[in-house]
Structure 1
Amino acid sequence: MSDRPLVSIIINNCNYDCYIGEAIESALNQTYPDLEVIVVDDGSIDNSREVIARYRDRIIPVLKENEGQSSAFNAGFTIAKGDIICFLDADDIALVEKVSEVVSVFKDNPDIGWCFHSLKVMDMKTGELLKRVHRDNAYITVTEQTKQERSQKCDFRASMLEQGKVNFIIPPTSGLCFTRSLLKQIFPLPQYKAHKTSADRCLKFSAIALSPGFFLDQELTIQRVHDNNAYTARGDRQQYMARSILIMANWMRVRFPELSKFTNKSFAKGLSIYWRTGGVEASAKELVKKYLASISILERLEISLRAFYYTLKMWGR
């Protein structure tokens, strides 16, 4: 990597016209000079494209039909030229020093393929800072300073390969940065018309399975929680999460078969969520059928027992 590598910031947007301008401004106002800003609009029907057009001489716009977040990521990566790729959701804001800090981490650790950092989470109604409750992927208001993880180099490859698990809470899209060389091993991401968000799950779990990385305990992005969040505002959030897990398990099983222990455990987790929330929805039944058809009878039995265990564990919490 050169002393001043080119950095690509890929912003994915769909119907966030009231937020996208601030996201673009935050990307353009970085203290790090060598960057390109790619804005992928995934078929917005609001005024997003009018907002994006105001920046056309300063950004690289990609205007496409609505096919989902994975499709937007794929389109952005296809034209990105940076040695380092950072992702930013259209309703989030990157702090001005973000790219400089991330570049420093990659330069100091030339063997890593990813750098994930902490985020500030803000309630747009109240302006209060929140913290994520990872059990349900929900949020509560921060009432006191919580102990944070220390910045550190990480390598989860062995635990994902041998135990099929990783004891690491990975930040969402706007906290994810990668080397171009690592993303070449992962892209393109799977596209499902019935499931158009949460594409970061495939991206981040594949990355930590393939390469060592670095967790940077600095809050370099503001994640804004509001009534129109594509994921957090969903009434069927649990089933939506289960479906995204099944998509990831199916895709990673084919793409990285050596990670079968991880994909089997992930599949069991997704199945257990469905069991607790009324059963597998129609749009996910094909995913269940496809995965079970690809594994042995012994693996199916193990998955059923594990899903049953996860269900009892969640009911008894």
Structure 2
Amino acid sequence: MNQVTVVICNYNYERYLAAAIDSALNQDYPGTQVVVLDDGSTDGSREIIEKYGSRITAIFQENGGQVAAYNHAISALETEYAILLDSDDILYPSAVSEVMQVFKSGSWAKVQFRLDVMDASGAATGAYVPNTEPPANCGELLQAGWLYPSPPASGNAYRVSALKQVFPIPAPGINRYGADFFAIYGAALVGPVATVRKSLGGYRVHNADGGTVSFANSEQISKAPKALGMRWAILRNIAKSRLEIELPATFHDFGHEKAIFCSSVYRATLVHRWRWMMHDSRGYLHAIVANPFWSVKKKFGTLFLSGLCLVPYSPLSDFVVRYISNPLARRRVAQR
């Protein structure tokens, strides 16, 4: 039986950590190992980890950020397959079994699966991510400059040999976070990606509020575009030096352009909204019209909604921005 490691990288998430570890230990796949790497937590995380004793492998390091934690964890992996579970997320009991069935069907570098969105207490919101399924040839799309739809970190299982062709990642002071970006897209440059068409885990959103433009737990929406651009430049260098693959200097991604759109238009004056749409929206509109993952219906729907941001009534414009940016806002509308 092929062995699988569930790696949990943790920093100051004592209130969620036990749920993540328990979900990894409760997998119905017998060949599951659990490694918990703590990145210098200052809360009670260490005590929680030590209570599990020999049921898990514990690694403690000084705080270096998520990239340093991934570098350390991946270098220590001895199994051929791994899931990198965030310490505030959970896996459902059959997650490892189901991804291993897919790995047996081909030479996949990565198998991804949907995650149900939970609020901070762990209650289901009714939403899930991602909402679009990519094709298997994600590497070709990356070479064309398109970031493919992927779940957050916890919704991905990897062939470890693929990860080790991409990692370690340079981890200077400005590149402490976003390690899952390099795993998600780097693996796709090594081999094909498969998708499980069901939710196999839960993704915790700490501010699970459909009344805001914020959805993911990463950087503030105004900072995300800059961080993503930096990560693309690093991935581009790694692809060229280690994999002999040329990636374009720029990339296309609706999530990236959506962050720019939201930070530019949300709660802005009518004049500013018109000015941005007329002069600065080229990348945003291209990410919709040329999107290789979307249906024609979805493209027209998103264009129509985006156009509503130009109406003089600010509450409608702000509602539309929330609706486009935050899946929980769409869920709230559906429940009415």
- The answer to whether TM tops 0.5 is yes
Aligned length: 267
- Whether 1:260 and 2:233 are equivalent positions in the alignment is no
- Whether 1:246 and 2:219 are equivalent positions in the alignment is no
Greater than 4 Å deviation, 4+ residue runs: 266-278, 311-317
- Whether 1:24 and 2:21 are equivalent positions in the alignment is yes
2:70 is matched with: 73
1:310 is matched with: 283
User: Structure 1 CA distance, aligned partners of 2:135 and 2:146?
Assistant: 18
Residue 88 of structure 2 aligns with an amino acid whose one-letter code is D
Once the two structures are overlaid, the 10-residue window that deviates more, 118-127 or 44-53, is 118-127
User: Structure 2 CA distance, aligned partners of 1:128 and 1:15?
Assistant: 23
1:219 is matched with: 199
In structure 1, the residue corresponding to 2:166 is in which secondary structure?
coil
Alpha-carbon offset, residue 246 of structure 1: 2.0
Query: How is 1:229-308 mapped onto 2 (pairs within 5 angstroms)?
Result: 232=216, 237-257=220-240, 258-261=245-248, 263-265=249-251, 277=263
- Structure 1 residues 269, 30: CA separation in 2 closer, same or farther (over 3 Å shift)? closer
Residue 85 of structure 2 aligns with an amino acid whose one-letter code is L
TM-score, normalised with respect to structure 1: 0.74
- Structure 1 residues 157, 25: CA separation in 2 closer, same or farther (over 3 Å shift)? same
User: Structure 1 CA distance, aligned partners of 2:135 and 2:122?
Assistant: 35
User: Structure 2 CA distance, aligned partners of 1:241 and 1:116?
Assistant: 23
- Whether 1:179 and 2:176 are equivalent positions in the alignment is no
Alpha-carbon offset, residue 268 of structure 1: 12
User: Structure 2 CA distance, aligned partners of 1:312 and 1:219?
Assistant: 30
Alpha-carbon offset, residue 240 of structure 1: 3.2
- Structure 1 residues 93, 272: CA separation in 2 closer, same or farther (over 3 Å shift)? closer
Cα RMSD (Å) = 3.3
User: Structure 1 CA distance, aligned partners of 2:97 and 2:217?
Assistant: 32
Contact 1:43 1:64 in 2 (8 A): yes
Query: How is 1:86-105 mapped onto 2 (pairs within 5 angstroms)?
Result: 86-105=83-102
The gaps in structure 1 that reach 5 residues or longer are: 135-147, 279-305
User: Structure 1 CA distance, aligned partners of 2:255 and 2:113?
Assistant: 26
Percent of paired sites with the same residue:
28
- Whether 1:164 and 2:145 are equivalent positions in the alignment is yes
CA deviation string 1:59-106 (max 9, x = no partner): 111111111111111111111111101110001111111111111110
CA deviation string 1:271-294 (max 9, x = no partner): 99669858xxxxxxxxxxxxxxxx
CA deviation string 1:205-255 (max 9, x = no partner): 112222112011121111122259xx9457x62233223312222212211
Contact 1:182 1:207 in 2 (8 A): yes
Contact 2:225 2:260 in 1 (8 A): yes
The gaps in structure 2 that reach 5 residues or longer are: 209-214, 265-278, 288-305, 310-336
User: Structure 2 CA distance, aligned partners of 1:42 and 1:153?
Assistant: 35
1:210 is matched with: 190
